[in-house]
């Protein structure tokens, strides 16, 4: 299975900060990388698919980049509703696998 | 807006079978661009994709589950189901039903999840 490693595992940030989360794959997955946001008690939400494509309805402050093995999710200006856990997921080779998550907390 | 809702027992005894159903509303389970998946998250751990079923009955399961997992679909009820046999405490998790976009393999609609505890 392809291993997905996210960093950091958690971070503290303030409203208005620029936040970057990294996801690394154990082998090349070309651009087959997706990002999700998860808040406790709620359904996870797709943010980005195919590394850089913004899902419909997702604010433009979210962006994704990368290819091969290294990817980033960037929140350009953190908003109060963005405090959550973020997961990456590879869709290159089944079984699809996820990173361990990055929790964004209020500083 | 498509919605998915999991249902089933919240407590299962060890060695028994876990059974969950997902009801899809706001869209057809017979859509040819959808796979219907299950994902779980044990307490304090990451997300694990269990597999999917296509509306015609084609399935794929994560090899990590070996032969313990079965998927089924009921197009007349717009539902799909998961059964996991011979459960242990390691199967305790929040179970999510999810729509997987066929050919793109990302998950765009999720249920809120249901906690299943394996305990005697």
| Cα torsion through A39, A81, A72, A43, rounded to 10 | 30
3 state SS of B54: coil
Q: How far is CA B116 from CA A36, B13, B51, B72, in A?
A: 23, 10, 18, 19
Neighbours of B67 (CB within 10 A): 9
Q: Which of B4, B60, B104 sits opposite A91 (nearest CB)?
A: B104
Distance from the B73 Cα atom to the nearest Cα atom in chain A, whole angstroms: 21
Place of tokens 């392809």: A2
Neighbours of B120 (CB within 10 A): 9
pLDDT confidence of residue B66: 74
pLDDT confidence of residue A107: 87
pLDDT confidence of residue A85: 97
Measured between beta carbons, the chain A residues lying within 8 angstroms of B4 are: 43
Determine the residue among A96, A102, A103 to mutate to test chain B binding: the one whose Cβ has the most chain B Cβ atoms within 10 Å.
Answer: A96
Neighbours of A97 (CB within 10 A): 23
Confidence of residue B18 (pLDDT cuts 50, 70, 90): very high
Looking at residues A82-101, what average pLDDT do you find?
Answer: 97
- Percentage of residues in chain B with pLDDT exceeding 90? 96
pLDDT confidence of residue B34: 97
C-alpha to C-alpha distance for A19 and A81, rounded to whole angstroms: 14
Distance from the B100 Cα atom to the nearest Cα atom in chain A, whole angstroms: 11
Looking at residues A82-105, what average pLDDT do you find?
Answer: 97
* Sign of the alpha-carbon torsion through B20, B39, A43, B79: negative
C-alpha to C-alpha distance for A54 and A82, rounded to whole angstroms: 16
C-alpha to C-alpha distance for B19 and B21, rounded to whole angstroms: 7
Distance, C-alpha A105 to centroid of its chain? 15
Task: Spell B81-91 as b/e; 16+ CB within 10 A means b.
Answer: bbebeebeeeb
Query: Is B35 in contact with B97 (CB distance < 8 Å)?
Result: no
Measured between beta carbons, the chain A residues lying within 8 angstroms of B107 are: 34, 36, 44, 46, 89
Distance from the A21 Cα atom to the nearest Cα atom in chain B, whole angstroms: 16
Distance from the A97 Cα atom to the nearest Cα atom in chain B, whole angstroms: 7
Looking at chain A, which residue has its C-alpha nearest residue B45?
Answer: A100
Looking at chain B, which residue has its C-alpha nearest residue A49?
Answer: B106
Confidence of residue A13 (pLDDT cuts 50, 70, 90): very high
């Amino acid at each position: 299975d392809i291993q997905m490693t996210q960093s950091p595992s958690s971070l503290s940030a303030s409203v208005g900060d620029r936040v970057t989360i990294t996801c690394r794959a154990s082998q090349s997955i070309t651009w087959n990388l997706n990002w999700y946001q998860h808040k406790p008690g709620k359904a996870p939400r797709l943010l980005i698919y195919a590394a850089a494509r913004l899902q419909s309805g997702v604010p433009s402050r979210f962006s994704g980049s990368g290819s091969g093995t290294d990817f980033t999710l960037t929140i350009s200006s953190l908003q109060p509703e963005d405090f959550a856990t973020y997961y990456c997921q590879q869709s290159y080779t089944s079984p699809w696998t996820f990173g361990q998550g990055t929790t964004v907390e209020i500083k | 807006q498509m919605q998915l809702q999991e249902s089933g027992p919240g407590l299962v005894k060890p060695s028994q079978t876990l059974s969950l159903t997902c009801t899809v509303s706001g869209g057809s389970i017979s859509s040819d661009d959808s796979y219907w998946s299950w994902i779980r998250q044990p307490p304090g751990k990451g997300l694990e994709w269990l597999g999917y079923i296509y509306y015609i009955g084609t399935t794929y399961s994560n090899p990590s589950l070996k032969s313990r997992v079965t998927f089924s679909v009921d197009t007349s009820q717009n539902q799909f189901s998961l059964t996991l046999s011979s459960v242990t405490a390691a199967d305790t998790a929040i179970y999510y039903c999810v729509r997987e976009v066929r050919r793109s393999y990302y998950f765009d609609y999720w249920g809120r999840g249901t906690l299943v505890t394996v305990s005697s």
